[in-house]
Amino acid sequence: MKLNYKRVLLVGMAFFLISAFWQAYDAITPLILTNHFGLPQSVSGTIMSFDNILAVFMLPVFGALSDRVNTRYGKRTPFIFFGTIAAVIAFVCLTFIDNYQLSLLAAEGIPSLTAGTMSEEAFSLFVRETTLALTLKNPLPLIGFIATLLLVLISMATFRSPAVALMPDVTVKPLRSKANAIINLTGTAGGIIVLGLGMVFATSKKQYMQYTGYVLAVCGVMLFGFVLFLLTVREKKWAAEMEADTEKYGLGSSSDSKAADGGGKLSRPEMRSLLLILASVALWYVGYNSITSKYSVYATNILGFDFNFTLIIAQAAAIVSYIPVGIVASKIGRKKTILSGIVILASAFTAGFFVTPDTPELIMYPVFALAGIGWATINVNSFPMVVELARHGDTGKYTGYYYTASMSAQIVAPILSGFLYDSLGMRYVFFTFGALFVALSFLTMFFVKHGNSEVIEKKSALEQLDVD
């Protein structure tokens, strides 16, 4: 029984295009909302949380809906087909509305304003207030932008769960860890390509940039993965082969194991540990997402840095950390490894606080490399800790617990941090906020008593890469 790596890679093209989209969305949407419409950070953060709010409700619905669908192309492929096409069209249309808003700003002479004697941060605030006044005077472009943005997010939400569910549909249970590692690496590749496009189009250097060309290039990357997926993936055939292999090797079904287990409940100490783990997940996601969702704004408006290459450094550091992190966790356990990752991530954010506009940009690279290592150390081990507590047949339910905690945190993070940026200024709050919440997760994780693993049996390198 061997994993068909080529097959998993082709299935992963759906996750490739999803990751490419989100990398672009997270990079330019806060810049547009803040710089082109002049919205306060709190309002911008609220809008940036729409995707997570939709995800909490829509991902389970469309995942379950795709379970019931049966077409000649399979269960998941129709959702991926229609969702991708709708998302690409709406994403491009979004830039046309933004271009119209830019034409209004140009007519008012806002892009030609000069700082004069004002400090850079004070001038940036003055320009945003001037832009906001124009937006309030004529709110129709903003209304159209938000309405189209919702269409983009809804389109993406319709096929995210079906795309994720496709891998286990075509992969027998013992090989799903290896397959999941390949899926995640495929997605990371899509994100890195889009970050490279951001550098080519200089998205962090032009405050009043028209993003149509950049988004068309990103959509080209998405469509490459989409077309490759459609031409090569044979969902029904591969799913039938998986069922045959399951029968051949006597692997059984989740319903069998659940019946054998009897649906036992967690003990009180186990329940306490589960709640502490989920609290930890929420806390470090608040801290981490507050940085990632607004770093493009902070780097562009406060530091004057190119955020694209910095984020590439972080992702590259995370990728090379996966194997060592898996090895360390097998030696000392998941809990100690996560605690180490929390210290690394909090230290990185603390170091970032001391980077100023006068600091050489290259100093930020090791800071984000450290953040990438810390996040990988946490992320590789946190999801398995939650699932470790699941009873037979309840893995999906406990997966839901994990994503409820992480997505809820990603709803709260941009809103709460945005209010603080508006009240106290972004310069001194940005990294402080992230470091504080990550540090708080150390306290909750420290008291976790269950969900840890025994020393892991010998695994392949790809299994060590298994992340959520």
Say which CATH number the domain at 242 has.
1.20.1250.20
Which pLDDT does position 255 carry in this prediction?
Answer: 37
pLDDT digits over 407-439, tens only? Answer: 888 888 888 888 898 888 888 999 999 999 999
The mean pLDDT value for 325-350 works out to 87
Q: Which domain holds residue 372?
A: 256-468
Which pLDDT does position 461 carry in this prediction?
Answer: 47
- Based on the fold, state whether residues 366 and 460 are members of the same structural domain: yes
Whether the model pTM is above 0.75: no
- Based on the fold, state whether residues 317 and 414 are members of the same structural domain: yes
Q: Which of 73-82, 116-125, 299-308, 413-422 has the lowest mean pLDDT?
A: 116-125
- Based on the fold, state whether residues 224 and 292 are members of the same structural domain: no
Does residue 466 carry a pLDDT above 50?
A: no
- Based on the fold, state whether residues 386 and 450 are members of the same structural domain: yes
d(CA 135, CA 142): 7
* 173 — pLDDT class (breaks 50, 70, 90): low
Which pLDDT does position 138 carry in this prediction?
Answer: 92
Does residue 303 carry a pLDDT above 50?
A: yes
Identify the burial level of 217 via C-beta atoms within 10 angstroms of its C-beta, where 0-12 means exposed, 13-18 middle and 19 or more buried.
Answer: middle
**Two tokens, residue 217:** 């290039």
Q: Which of 16-25, 260-269, 342-351, 374-383 has the lowest mean pLDDT?
A: 260-269
Out of 220, 252, 284, a domain closes at 252
- Based on the fold, state whether residues 116 and 52 are members of the same structural domain: yes
**Contact of 50 with 129, CB cutoff 8 Å:** no
Does residue 99 carry a pLDDT above 80?
A: yes
If one counts the domains in the chain, the total is 2
Give the residues across from 74 on adjacent strands.
71
- Based on the fold, state whether residues 260 and 218 are members of the same structural domain: no
Tokens 């090989």 sit on residue: 175
- Based on the fold, state whether residues 467 and 435 are members of the same structural domain: yes
Helix axes 426-446, 395-424, angle to 10 degrees: 150
